Chains A and B, each alone.
Chain A
Amino acid sequence: MLALQLTLTGLQAGALYALTAVGFSLIFGSTRVFHFAHGATFALAAYLFYAVEAAGYGFVPGLLASFAGAIAFGLAIDWFIYRPIQRDEGSFFTVFVASFGIGIVVQNLIGIFFGRSFVTITSPLSRAREVLDGVYVAPLAGIAFVVALICLLALGFFLRTTFTGKGLRALSDDPELVRVFGLNPRYLSAAAFAIGSALVVPAAVFTSMSSGLNPAIGHHVMLISLAATIVGGIGSIPGTMIAAFIFGLAENLSLLWFEPQWSEAVVFAILFAAIIARPSGLMGKSAAR
């Protein structure tokens, strides 16, 4: 029964990881910007939802504020931070350092504006009920799983069927060719940041209700997103999604054999094993062509 319980909690964690990791993968895969501040987008979205909900405006306004804040933040970072650096031919590392710095600034600003304490939205949806003997599932877990599935299927549909989606895939393959075909890489880059940032919102909202928030919450999210992107294959949305679920399950099922303190180490052991066994990732394209 414990194994079944841990599998269910692993799937819930995996769904949340998938939403954040896929957003990061989309941005990194399309633009090659190492958007470390993606964790800050997550934290910002979660706190905006918390602020609006806790102020008594309700769930939907909170959700809208969270979407608006996450998308605006993603676009602003792209416009005002990354593009000036890239315009001056700043290196990949310069962009990474800038992004890392933004993450720290946002963490501190959240601390200043929302306080440094633990906060959470109390909801009956986060309370688990016994569905089988000794197996508890919260309604929120099911909702998170379904929402993640819908978001990821919608993203796949968008990337395959729409003009912008195809452009994003093309941008990830060859930015020069995108220009030759008359597409605007800047518009596509903005689209990647907007969609990638919006994808963190469901996970941020669920986290605010399930495990609660503190200003440093984005750090863990970012680590998992990064690991899932590498293991799944850079630029591969399905690969990232599968890797995120593997991490969620591994983190929880490892409790059957290891102390909880090693669960994060298990995730990174998988990362190292994947890098050695398949450097291009589960569904990534080999660099040696």
Chain B
Amino acid sequence: MRHFGKFTAAALFALAAPFAAPASAEDITIGGLFPFSGPNAVYGDVLSSGAKLAVKHINADKMLSGELSIAYEDTQALPQPAVVAMQKLVSVMNVPFTLSSFTGVSKAIAPIGTRNEVVMVNGGGVGPDLAELGDYFWNVIPLANLEVRASVPYAVKEMGKSKFALIYVDDPLGASILKEIESVLEDVGGELVSEMSVAPTAQQFSGLAAKVRSSGADAVYIASYGAQQVQIAKQLRDNGVDAQMISYSAYGVPDAMALPENEGAIFTAQAVKLDTGDAMTTRFVEDYKAEFGKDPAPYNVNYYNATMLFAILAQALEAEGKEITGANLLAKRKEMRSFDLVGGNVSFLDNGTLLFPIDVKVIEGGAAKTLATVDIQ
């Protein structure tokens, strides 16, 4: 047994050795901080697929002097593992640019990235305070405050709902949605009759359903993510809650669509025009379908755009003979201002966030159908 153990260790080391070899000097590596394990692991594949396709396109087009690759790190969507992963990317791999996701994760890594002048681009987290994390933190997704400003007035004015219950995850995202809903409901004449925070790891919500029922709410806003948001929806319906369910862009994942209890639920997502006819959008849509066998969702677009944004900036820096560093990438973004990405030409706001219109969607027959598109200024 001991010999077998030594043999196994040696074999594993031998197998791992080639992968541990340092990349050649001309290769360019950027980071990718996504959850690949834990209750939010479903997002790992969803978020990284757009980035993977972008890398394929960038390398096929030889946009950069070397091969681009992404060093993926598993954050479990939790701040602590994310900080460890970010330290590795910054200190060991010396990446100038990393993709980020989730509000709590992004807020945790932002000081490290800023201190080390590493650009961080978020295409998944929607906490409103992500717009205030400094020059090196950019968002290619509209933040949740904008989503709430689209869905809640829609539910009040178009669906006649006025009594809202809010179930929110106890983290920075949940807290910011609570703040935004309180403010928006006051403006549109609705009322927040019940607010309940849940721990990010909680999985039992039948008791919570009883509280929602007793509150008399006719709409319930679910501000969670991953497996938890779907578990909440299922357990609400199973336990006799028939109020209109409302959520935000995190709901645009396959398992939320597939849950029969979600039929009729509305959620918001950034409006992405995939029928613009421009070359980049057409290529993205066709290749995404070919590669992953399904239509691209906004998250896929965001991380494709985020990775492509890096390539555009790095290409411009290389053309000028400048080094690809975080500081140079930031300066180049401010200089170029607007970019041709999937969905058309986009511009960054001064706080490093892209502004998109918001779609209000309804889940019907396992798919999302757009009810309205709201322009938020």
Contacts and interface: CB of A to CB of B under 8 A. Distances in A.
Residue of B202, B214, B227, B238 with highest tally of chain A CB at under 10 A: B238
A261 to B, nearest CB: 4
A264 B13 CA distance: 41
A127 B56 CA distance: 46
A105 to B, nearest CB: 11
Interface in A120-160: 120, 122, 126-130, 134, 136, 138
Contacts of B231: 118, 211-212, 214
B291 to A, nearest CB: 18
B218 to A, nearest CB: 16
Interface in B229-275: 230-231, 234-235, 237-240, 253-255, 259-260
Nearest to A10: B207
Nearest to B195: A259
Nearest to B40: A116
Contacts of A211: 203-206, 231, 234-235
Contact of A214 (B36, B39, B204, B208): B39
B202 A136 contact: no
Interface stretch (B25-33, B41-49, B135-143, B279-287): B41-49
Contacts of B197: 259-261
Contacts of A214: 39, 41-42, 226-227, 231
A12 B205 CA distance: 12
A280 interface: no
Nearest to A108: B37
B238 A128 contact: yes
Given A6-B207, A9-B210, A211-B235, A117 B199 contact: no
Given A108-B37, A118-B230, A126-B238, A261 B204 contact: no
Interface in B207-231: 207-208, 210-211, 213-214, 226-227, 230-231
Contact of A263 (B42, B207, B213): B207
A255 to B, nearest CB: 5
Given A117-B255, A120-B259, A128-B238, A251 B207 contact: yes
B207 to A, nearest CB: 4
Count class of interface residues, chain A? 35 or more
A264 B199 contact: yes
B374 to A, nearest CB: 28
B132 to A, nearest CB: 25
Contacts of B253: 117
Residue of A5, A118, A219 with highest tally of chain B CB at under 10 A: A118
Contacts of B238: 126-128, 138, 210
Given A117-B254, A260-B196, A111 B41 contact: yes
A30 interface: no
Contacts of B44: 116
B38 interface: yes
A117 B227 contact: yes
Contact of A260 (B37, B202, B234): B202
A217 interface: yes
B259 A13 contact: no
A77 to B, nearest CB: 17
Nearest to B213: A134
A217 B228 CA distance: 11
A115 B205 CA distance: 23
Contact of A128 (B38, B211, B239): B239
A287 interface: no
A260 B206 contact: no
B168 to A, nearest CB: 9
B101 to A, nearest CB: 14
B201 interface: yes
B198 A220 contact: no
B170 interface: yes
B1 interface: yes
Nearest to A136: B240
B206 A118 contact: no
A233 B45 CA distance: 43
Given A6-B207, A134-B213, A210-B235, A264 B240 contact: no
Contact of B198 (A12, A117, A210, A261): A261
Contacts of B199: 260-261, 263-264
Interface string B159-197: 000000001001000000000000000000000000011
B335 to A, nearest CB: 40
A29 interface: no
A117 B240 contact: no
Contacts of B230: 118, 212
A128 B213 CA distance: 13
A259 B196 contact: yes
6 contacts: A9-B239, A10-B207, A211-B206, A212-B230, A260-B197, A260-B207
Closest 4 CB pairs of A and B: A116-B41, A214-B227, A136-B240, A117-B255
Interface of A: 1-2, 5-6, 9-10, 12-13, 84, 107-108, 111, 115-120, 122, 126-130, 134, 136, 138, 210-212, 214-217, 219-220, 251-252, 255, 259-261, 263-264
Given A6-B207, A117-B253, 18 more contacts: A1-B214, A2-B210, A5-B210, A10-B207, A116-B44, A119-B255, A122-B260, A136-B210, A211-B231, A212-B234, A216-B227, A217-B203, A251-B204, A251-B207, A252-B206, A259-B196, A261-B198, A263-B207
